Copies of this chain bind each other. A is one copy, B any other.
Amino acid sequence: MEAVSKILELSPMFMGLNELSIDNLLRGIHHQVKHYKRGDIVAFSGDECKSLQIVVEGNVKGEMMDMAGHVLKIEDIGVPRPLAVAFLFGQNNRYPVTITANVDTTILVIPRQSVIKLIQTSEVFLTNFMNAVSNRAQFITKKLKFHSFQSLRGKLADYLLCEAADKNGIINLTKTQEELAELFGVARPSLSRTLRELHNEGLIKADGKRIVIINKVGLKECIEK
């Protein structure tokens, strides 16, 4: 716990403030620290969002899901990033995603009222907060575009090219196909099939987790810009 403000120094919420100032700020407001075990649900989609939460240890994932069990993974959030920044104010203060701890995780919880106090007290925090909310909107907008216009082939090409950037075309997948499929919002066999197609067409060489990009230009052409 003693190291929390040290960690927060690097957080989008507190960047630009030094450890001491952060300590002082935190001392003036209500806040608590919560611990979660791997697999614990931090927040359910639809829950009311009453506090700003900052991951100070471990990491969590946020995913949307429907009744039929379809999952769309939005992102992983690790140290020292905030959760649900864009759902603390405005008119719909409910988590749009379910937040699950990927590993044992510690989260700093700052209630809305205290966030307001922080905003009023620290101009730096205000600026950070505003930027963070804007960044969220921009991030989600990018997702919307990605999922609305990109075919599975395009999504995969885009992903592979990103992963391979400055690693001269060699990728070692860290995610399972199941995870990737959720990230793209598709069924796992579909992903597997498309991967195979890219392979058969000679654009990539896929062998388990190891993927080598053979034809970068061709792969780029798969992305519908």
Q: Kindly state whether residue A87 has any CB partner on chain B within 8 Å.
A: yes
Residue numbers in B under 8 Å from A92 (CB-CB): 135, 138, 142
Interface size on A, residues (CB 8 A): 37
Contact of A70 among B89, B91, B149 (CB under 8 A): B149
User: Chain B residue with minimal CB distance to A91?
Assistant: B135
Q: Kindly state whether residue A134 has any CB partner on chain B within 8 Å.
A: yes
Contact A96 B141 (CB under 8 A): yes
Contact of A72 among B86, B130, B148, B224 (CB under 8 A): B148
Contact of A185 among B70, B140, B148 (CB under 8 A): B148
Q: Kindly state whether residue A143 has any CB partner on chain B within 8 Å.
A: yes
Known: A142-B96, A143-B144, A224-B67. A72 touches B134 (CB 8 A): no
Contact B131 A89 (CB under 8 A): yes
Q: Kindly state whether residue A90 has any CB partner on chain B within 8 Å.
A: yes
Known: A67-B224, A142-B96, A224-B66. A90 touches B149 (CB 8 A): no
Known: A138-B86, A142-B96, A225-B66. A91 touches B147 (CB 8 A): no
Residue numbers in B under 8 Å from A140 (CB-CB): 137, 140-141, 144
Q: Kindly state whether residue A64 has any CB partner on chain B within 8 Å.
A: yes
User: Chain B residue with minimal CB distance to A90?
Assistant: B134
Known: A137-B136, A144-B143. A131 touches B91 (CB 8 A): yes
Q: Kindly state whether residue A145 has any CB partner on chain B within 8 Å.
A: yes
Contact A144 B142 (CB under 8 A): no
Q: Kindly state whether residue A68 has any CB partner on chain B within 8 Å.
A: yes
> Which residues in chain A, 100-159, are within 8 Å of chain B measured between CB atoms?
126, 129-138, 140-145, 147-149
Q: What's the least CB distance linking A162 to chain B, in Å?
A: 16
Residue numbers in B under 8 Å from A185 (CB-CB): 148
Contact of A64 among B87, B129, B145, B225 (CB under 8 A): B145
Q: What's the least CB distance linking A142 to chain B, in Å?
A: 7
Q: What's the least CB distance linking A12 to chain B, in Å?
A: 10
